[in-house]
């Protein structure tokens, strides 16, 4: 149960967006993908869930070339919680979670008792079973994220891809979602914006800048003022988290405060 | 604990698949969760067989009324007696028999099939472009068909084909327009929803200008028959018009029901659908041709009947939710019923004259749509 990117390059509309991406997510590891806006985090993730096709390099899931797999087989191995969320049509949370079973179903087949049990179980596990009959569009950001994670669970894959799962969430839900994801016991690759949060939960992080990985490894060695300045052109202080000793960022003003 | 410790998996976490086992789920369910439904799992949705049965009864009632009501009123019993006679091979040769079997029944059946086809096409197009305000004629079918039919009626094109000329002309026009929309809205190997909407609207305007030019150049009498055709009518219905639309509906419906789950995924987002193993470009392409076929045969037999494909799918979704395993079959029955009622009104309100059915459907459909838009916050131009 591993995920490996081997020299992946992605072109969109003739332009190279990311190039030479090498990274590995070992069994059960939680890996963070960091980098400024537009650095190619989402593009890398989309290359893994087959929206973009790498023009060079390979994506290996358990050693198998992802693009050589049938789409359904790939979907049974890799589940995705993307940024996109439903807006046009009215689905209940249960219906959303049930779509996680699509890779396991044939045309015309009915939802079996096992499917229902898996869906119930997934909702229980993320703690959104009380939302089952609510319309997805009426949920708060945190509740939506729970429902989407439940869907990924129902998909039964052992690799989970998350694209900025804590965006727009309050601090309680940010920590809650990260804790939930870290506790699932599957291999996770997540694009993350909050570097301190990433350091708190990820076993390894990779920092992207302009489509290339500029640093990778344990958060304590990667998240340093020098790396942050190189990748984000931002001046920060890095302190140790009092509980865990992980790096924690403190932003600094660009203009020194006038007395 | 150093950060490196958490890099590797703990033994208990390793090799645990990302899913709750059924046993685990059952165990978790047993202490009755706080929710309102301890046993039933879909309290919010009426079971599909119940909805289908209700809509089936509705369709039978409206069709019976559609055959019974008219300049010569008949009782429902008389209607069914005639139908039973024909089905058992002993047709009666009464006046009522001729009215029912030769005139009204084919018309009602055609209205039902066209209503079902337009509703199905509308529901699918809305998912295909992920826009709640899309309708089956977005694909250029209606505007292209209008050019073809107008050319037949005003310029006498395909005159050698006789009564079939209008159908042939409209199908030809629809095919050309649809191909144009398809080719123009392709970006790379994919059909891009936003481009599809824009190209559909722009090309429709262009084809409509050709129709307008033809009408402008035509004689007043011919123009009237063109306008009547453009607004749609089942006035020319006959038994031999039925097989092709029925066949198209059955074939497309079978395909769509097989793709109901991928359709649900597509309705939730194209990226999501591909992450669930759906081949989105291929699905969109097939949906384009399936809906074009439905809209094309509908236009060929009855002209351009607006609003049904736009409004009825929304009404159906309000009734049964957005799951296409429910929307599609219910939509067929409900759309058919709606069209039968619409046609009944079209030929009785100003009897003995007949109104174009497009007038009725737009008159009922437009306010309904406004109510729906005001009730539900539809999003425009969603990001893909």
Residue B186, SS3? strand
Q: Residue B18 falls within a domain, yes or no?
A: no
Q: Tell me how many domains chain B contains.
A: 1
Task: Say yes or no: A116 contacts chain B, CB-CB below 8 A.
Answer: yes
- B164: tokens are 């079939």
Q: Residue B12 falls within a domain, yes or no?
A: no
Q: Residue B103 falls within a domain, yes or no?
A: yes
Predicted pLDDT at B9: 41
Compute the distance between CA of residue B176 and CA of residue B172 in angstroms, rounded to an integer.
Answer: 6
Predicted pLDDT at B44: 58
- B77: tokens are 């019993």
Q: Residue B15 falls within a domain, yes or no?
A: no
- Chain A, 222-241: which have a CB under 8 Å from a chain B CB? none
- A154: tokens are 């129902």
* Unique residue bearing structure tokens 């010569």: B72
Predicted pLDDT at A161: 94
Q: Helices B280-302 and B260-268 meet at what angle, rounded to 10? A: 110
Q: Residue B137 falls within a domain, yes or no?
A: yes
Q: Residue B334 falls within a domain, yes or no?
A: yes
Compute the distance between CA of residue A230 and CA of residue A215 in angstroms, rounded to an integer.
Answer: 10
Predicted pLDDT at B250: 97
Under-50 pLDDT residues of chain A: none
Q: How far is B51 from chain A (nearest CA, A)?
A: 18
Nearest residue on chain A to B132, alpha-carbon basis: A88
CATH number for the domain spanning B233: value is 1.10.3470.10
Predicted pLDDT at B19: 46
Compute the distance between CA of residue A52 and CA of residue B133 in angstroms, rounded to an integer.
Answer: 29
Compute the distance between CA of residue A203 and CA of residue A190 in angstroms, rounded to an integer.
Answer: 12
Predicted pLDDT at B327: 95
Task: Say yes or no: A195 contacts chain B, CB-CB below 8 A.
Answer: no
A130:B262 CB<8 A: no
List the helix and strand counts (H, then E) for chain A. Answer: 9, 12
- Chain B, 182-241: which have a CB under 8 Å from a chain A CB? none
Instruction: Determine the Cα angle at A162 with ends A160 and A163, to 5°.
Output: 155
Range of the domain at B229: 49-67+74-375
CATH class of the structural domain A3-218: alpha beta
Predicted pLDDT at B376: 57
Q: How far is CA A203 from CA A182, A197, B4, B32, B238, in A?
A: 10, 12, 6, 37, 72
Could you give the residue ranges of the DSSP H alpha helices within chain B?
Answer: 22-29, 48-68, 76-87, 95-98, 105-128, 141-155, 165-184, 193-217, 220-230, 243-258, 260-268, 270-275, 280-302, 308-320, 324-348, 357-375
Gyration radius of chain B's alpha carbons: 25
How confident is chain B (384 residues) per 10-residue block, as mean pLDDT? 41 43 37 39 70 95 94 90 88 85 93 96 91 82 85 76 74 85 76 82 89 85 79 85 92 95 91 91 90 87 88 88 93 96 92 86 81 57 33
Beta strands A56-61 and A3-12 are: antiparallel
Nearest residue on chain B to A98, alpha-carbon basis: B261
Predicted pLDDT at A220: 93
Gyration radius of chain A's alpha carbons: 19
Predicted pLDDT at B355: 87
| ipTM metric | 0.89
Contacts of A70 in chain B (CB under 8 A): 277
Domain boundaries, chain A: 3-218
B240, exposed or middle or buried, with CB in 10 Å at 0-12, 13-18, 19+? exposed
Predicted pLDDT at B43: 47
Q: Residue A189 pairs with which residues in a beta bridge? A: A31, A161
Compute the distance between CA of residue A252 and CA of residue B65 in angstroms, rounded to an integer.
Answer: 77
Task: Say yes or no: B375 contacts chain A, CB-CB below 8 A.
Answer: no
Residue B255, SS3? helix
A105:B278 CB<8 A: no
Q: How far is CA B158 from CA A127, A187, B170, B287, in A?
A: 66, 65, 11, 31
Contacts of B268 in chain A (CB under 8 A): 86, 89, 91, 96, 99
Close Cβ partners of B275 (under 8 Å, ≥ 6 residues apart): A49, A50, A51, A75, A78, A79, A80, A82, A161
B321:A73 CB<8 A: no
A203:B258 CB<8 A: no
* Unique residue bearing structure tokens 């790939």: A74
Of A72, A91, A218, the CB nearest to B7: A218
- B356: tokens are 């174009």
Task: Say yes or no: A2 contacts chain B, CB-CB below 8 A.
Answer: no
Q: Residue B242 falls within a domain, yes or no?
A: yes
């Amino acid at each position: 149960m591993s995920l490996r990117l081997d020299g992946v390059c992605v072109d969109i509309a003739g332009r190279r967006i990311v190039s030479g991406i090498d990274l590995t997510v070992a069994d059960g590891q939680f890996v963070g993908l960091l980098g400024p806006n537009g650095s190619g985090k989402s593009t890398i993730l989309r290359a893994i869930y087959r929206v973009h096709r790498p023009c060079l390099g390979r994506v290996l899931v358990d050693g198998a070339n992802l693009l050589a797999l049938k789409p359904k087989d790939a979907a049974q191995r890799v589940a995705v919680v993307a940024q996109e969320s439903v807006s046009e049509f009215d689905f209940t949370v249960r219906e959303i979670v049930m779509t996680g079973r699509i890779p396991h179903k044939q045309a015309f087949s009915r939802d079996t008792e096992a499917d229902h049990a898996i869906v119930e179980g997934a909702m229980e596990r993320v703690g959104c079973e009380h939302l089952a009959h609510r319309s997805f569009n009426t949920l708060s950001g945190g509740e939506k994220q729970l429902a989407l994670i439940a869907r990924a669970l129902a998909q039964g894959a052992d690799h989970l891809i998350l694209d900025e799962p804590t965006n727009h969430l309050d601090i309680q839900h940010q920590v809650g979602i990260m804790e939930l994801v870290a506790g699932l016991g599957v291999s996770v690759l997540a694009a993350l914006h909050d570097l301190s949060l990433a350091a708190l939960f990820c076993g390894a992080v990779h920092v992207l800048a302009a489509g290339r990985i500029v640093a990778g490894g344990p958060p304590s060695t990667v998240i340093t003022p020098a790396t942050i300045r190189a990748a984000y052109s931002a001046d920060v202080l890095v302190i140790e988290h009092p509980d865990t000793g992980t790096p924690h960022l403190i932003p600094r003003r660009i203009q020194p405060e006038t007395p | 604990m150093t950060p490196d410790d958490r890099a590797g998996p703990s033994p208990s976490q390793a090799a645990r698949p990302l899913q709750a086992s059924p046993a685990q789920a059952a165990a978790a369910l047993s202490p009755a969760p706080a929710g309102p439904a301890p046993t039933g799992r879909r309290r919010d949705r009426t079971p599909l067989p119940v909805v289908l049965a209700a809509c089936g009864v509705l369709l039978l009632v409206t069709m019976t009324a559609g055959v019974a009501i008219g300049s010569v009123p008949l009782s429902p019993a008389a209607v069914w007696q005639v139908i039973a006679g024909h089905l058992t091979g002993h047709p009666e040769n009464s006046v009522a028999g001729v009215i029912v079997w030769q005139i009204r029944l084919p018309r009602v059946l055609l209205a039902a099939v066209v209503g079902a086809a337009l509703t199905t096409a509308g529901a699918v197009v809305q998912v295909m472009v992920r826009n709640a305000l899309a309708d089956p004629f977005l694909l250029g079918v209606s505007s292209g068909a209008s050019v073809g039919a107008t050319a037949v009626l005003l310029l006498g094109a395909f005159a050698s084909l006789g009564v079939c000329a209008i159908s042939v002309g409209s199908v030809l026009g629809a095919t050309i327009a649809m191909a144009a929309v398809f080719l123009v809205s392709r970006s790379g190997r994919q059909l891009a929803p936003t481009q599809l909407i824009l190209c559909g609207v722009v090309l429709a305007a262009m084809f409509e200008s050709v129709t307008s030019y033809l009408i402008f150049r035509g004689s007043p009498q011919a123009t009237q028959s063109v306008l009547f055709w453009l607004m749609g009518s089942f006035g020319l219905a006959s038994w031999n018009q039925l097989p092709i639309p029925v066949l198209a509906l059955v074939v497309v419906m079978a395909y769509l029901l097989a793709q109901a789950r991928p359709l649900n995924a597509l309705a939730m987002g194209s990226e999501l659908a591909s992450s669930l193993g759906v081949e989105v470009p291929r699905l969109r392409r097939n949906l384009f041709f399936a809906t074009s076929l439905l809209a094309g045969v509908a236009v060929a037999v009855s002209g351009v009947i607006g609003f049904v494909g736009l409004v009825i799918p929304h009404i159906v979704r309000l009734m049964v939710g957005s799951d296409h395993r429910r929307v599609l079959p219910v939509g067929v029955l409900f759309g058919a019923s709606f069209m039968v009622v619409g046609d009944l009104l079209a030929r009785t309100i100003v009897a003995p004259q007949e109104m174009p059915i497009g007038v009725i459907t737009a008159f009922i459909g437009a306010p309904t749509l406004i109510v729906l838009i005001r009730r539900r916050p539809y999003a425009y131009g969603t990001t893909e």
